[in-house]
Amino acid sequence: MPKAVIRLEDVWKIYKMDEVEVYALRGINLEIKESEFLAVLGKSGSGKSTILNMVGCLDLPTKGKIYLDGKDVSVLDENELARIRGRKIGFVFQTFNLISSLTALENVMLPMVFQGIDKYIRIEKAKKVLDIVGLKERMNHRPSELSGGERQRVAIARALINDPEIILADEPTGNLDSKTGNDILKILLELNKKHKKTVVIITHDKSLASYVERVVQLADGQIVKGQLKKEMA
């Protein structure tokens, strides 16, 4: 049986705004298994972005525990959290977050700079992951010279560059037309099936459910439905 790579135990997140307390998450219990393809589905304000922050070690819970590979990350300081993010988690964002002055190759190489990896190794590895996402021929183009789908492919390649166990994709098709969005989802599916990555998609789009094994639905900071999907062939 696959092990749980991420486990949330009774996780609450409460934001204080002046004298008002906003409950973003209310006692979330969730396990994400190794090599699982999961969608966290919810409307705006449901808590799905806060879940992303918790799972991605970008924020800490107000109360409750978060385990990554069995280690309680809710007690770590920011430096330790940053090291975990750099090694274990790759992020793909709706707005791509590419640096406009850098080529596709340079954007993909960037996370390795912060890991102190030799430049030659960075170049060769970046070429390989760009090839995985079908952009080897476009590696010297800047973001302004790429389509929306190509920019998202660069973002996926950048997320892969440090060979993380987990890919977190925040509305990865949100800025794309339906055909391009389907192409991006197929890449994420291949990363899950062929490369055994744990992939978590945060989305409001119910149509994405057909691509994943399991859907966790959020409303008002709570899990309201979890549904197992058949694995796609």
User: Which fold is adopted by the domain 36-47+79-228?
Assistant: Rossmann fold (3.40.50)
Question: Confidence band (pLDDT; 50, 70, 90) for 131?
Answer: very high
Query: What is the domain partition of the chain in residue ranges?
Result: 36-47+79-228
Q: Give, in order, the Cα–Cα distances in Å from 122 to each of 83, 100, 152, 163.
A: 18, 19, 20, 12
| Res. 95: pLDDT tops 50 | yes
- Amino acid identity, position 39: A
Question: Confidence band (pLDDT; 50, 70, 90) for 19?
Answer: confident
Lowest mean pLDDT among 2-6, 121-125, 140-144: 2-6
Lowest mean pLDDT among 22-36, 77-91, 101-115: 77-91
